[in-house]
Structure 1
């Protein structure tokens, strides 16, 4: 396997010596048989900031997304694998900065005996052999393995597909893990309230955590000066940007959350948002060019996230992919994923009508 990758990389390097690419990647899929992969990027506010129950207000949105019929759903969460990597390199990834993005797998390890690598090995093998009609015991065991592997949204996908009388202790789930799943089922976080619930509704086995915080692990000597520079950039936001933020906040207080998602996914709203964040940062006048640190970290993060999304459907030509991500990421996701061969970007405005 490694030799195959090495040879392929050498051939690509040799073939590119005479022609450096300029501008967007060329289209190479004109004679590709079969359907393109369709990717719908749903920009989202972070719903965990809303404290009232959202199950009912989210139903119209979930129905629109179900009509898209995604085969694969990706979320803005760190994978258990990356959290395991981060934990093994505290000198590179300070625990106090990145650990909050990772879930606690110790209770699941105590219940199952699986550390994160062993859990990943188990659920990977299980998914390869997953039957069309799994038993309740199989679902409970897979949920336990997902919890031990740091993939809590995927654990909830399995839990929600169990009949109510089968949502109990057993097959690796102890009372602590059952309580955890019950709590997650009421979470407002979009990875649970939208992605996991939609995946369960569609009969999918999991969701894919595709966030990445290794690329934006920027090394800064003077954090105070850096923070002041970025805040100064944000303070120069336009009246339209401030009005958009106020309108989004007002929509988030109501029960018409479909209207909220239609608003945050409008191209003009997205454009105003990034112009009054990243464009202002690029104009930062500090001698250290701190704004460029900020944007470089953001772009590195988006590149790695998009690579994770592409990997999620690399073995599924023609897949329908729903990527749920903070709305500021959407312009980068649409642009980068739109350059992939055999991929088309779905218009979010039309999908939400």
Structure 2
């Protein structure tokens, strides 16, 4: 009887210890806070302005690129020295194409096709990337048009059409012609991009050209993408759709519809950007989407898998931005990204010792 009592006491102590350990793990908070250890003590800090944007391709037919002028003028007034865009780099696309088991057509659709430019230059993506970097290291203060046309085709071969467009826009209209490696087909590609309804084409590249920058930085990342097994496609889609069907999603959709309907009115586009960069927009993005999927109750935990993808994608995008800042410390960088990313961008960037965030509301006044 006494032995049984000792065993019972031992089991009770073990259970209590496990419970205490679980509570400790749940309550644990790290003592190290990078966001409270900002620097540097000497020299200018890195500054980052995150502009949450709508995808321009989804705006009403009445939208015209001229409506972006007040926005671009305000961004230009901040004078960024680097611009990061929501585009995948040529190098990442090159890597993803080599792994078709994981990355299917849905992911690769985000990648531009460098085939024609590769044929024109004789360079694959890694070689063209290296050549672009080599050219920029020795880039003259006043390049002649032939140099810009040549760098444009090198950027196209590197899978960086946004940067190619910057070079194209920096040419006088009379110099936007074939030659120096640019074929008539590639000129057509650049001309279509110049007017295509896309944030990189209509905001980032014109702004870079206006400011005298030579390139853009493609920081999007889809390496966390993975094809869903065929037998799970329908239940996965059903689970995520159910999670998204919530009151905040409906509020957010109605708000978005009102904002986009007014973009062609005086001040309408700026009003949309002010709204998309507000605390409300960031809170609703989480509540309607990522927070909802986190709590989605399917036995397979589909929502948590989706959330993992989203967090990894944003972490890697921010890591790409931090890499750009490390190339020239003290840089003022503008990051233009879909509005749902803004909260994650700022939260993760704020953890960096040598990054200071700039309030978009101040720039958009």
TM over 0.5, yes or no? yes
1:311 matched residue in structure 2:
323
Q: How far, CA to CA, are the matches of 1:54 and 1:285 in structure 2?
A: 44
Q: How far, CA to CA, are the matches of 2:286 and 2:361 in structure 1?
A: 18
Q: How far, CA to CA, are the matches of 2:111 and 2:83 in structure 1?
A: 19
2:207 matched residue in structure 1:
198
Q: Which of 228, 249, 261 is equivalent to 1:250?
A: 261
The TM-score with structure 2 as length reference comes to 0.87
1:13 matched residue in structure 2:
none
Q: How far, CA to CA, are the matches of 1:236 and 1:71 in structure 2?
A: 41
1:259 matched residue in structure 2:
271
Deviation at 1:26, TM superposition (A): 5.3
2:82 matched residue in structure 1:
72
Query: Residue 126 in 1 paired to residue 138 in 2?
Result: no
2:296 matched residue in structure 1:
284
Structure with the larger helix share: 2
Deviation at 1:38, TM superposition (A): 0.8
How do 1:127-206 residues align onto structure 2 when only pairs under 5 Å count?
Answer: 127-206=136-215
Q: How far, CA to CA, are the matches of 1:230 and 1:304 in structure 2?
A: 23
1:342 matched residue in structure 2:
354
CA contact (8 A) 2:46 2:332 kept: yes
Q: How far, CA to CA, are the matches of 2:96 and 2:340 in structure 1?
A: 25
Q: How far, CA to CA, are the matches of 1:280 and 1:58 in structure 2?
A: 33
Q: How far, CA to CA, are the matches of 1:242 and 1:92 in structure 2?
A: 32
Deviation at 1:98, TM superposition (A): 1.3
Q: Which of 219, 223, 233 is equivalent to 1:210?
A: 219
Query: Residue 298 in 1 paired to residue 307 in 2?
Result: no
Q: Which runs of 5+ in 1 are unaligned?
A: 1-19
Q: Which is greater in Rg?
A: 2
Query: Residue 45 in 1 paired to residue 54 in 2?
Result: yes
Q: How far, CA to CA, are the matches of 1:23 and 1:235 in structure 2?
A: 38
- Comparing 276-285 with 255-264, greater Cα deviation is found at 255-264
Deviation at 1:88, TM superposition (A): 1.1
Q: 1:344 to 1:115 in 2, by over 3 A?
A: same
CA contact (8 A) 1:237 1:277 kept: no
- Comparing 37-46 with 308-317, greater Cα deviation is found at 308-317
Q: 1:165 to 1:242 in 2, by over 3 A?
A: closer
CA contact (8 A) 1:109 1:115 kept: yes
Q: Which of 85, 97, 100 is equivalent to 2:106?
A: 97
Query: Residue 223 in 1 paired to residue 229 in 2?
Result: no
Q: CA RMSD in A?
A: 1.7
Q: Counterpart of 2:83 in 1: which secondary structure?
A: strand
The TM-score with structure 1 as length reference comes to 0.90
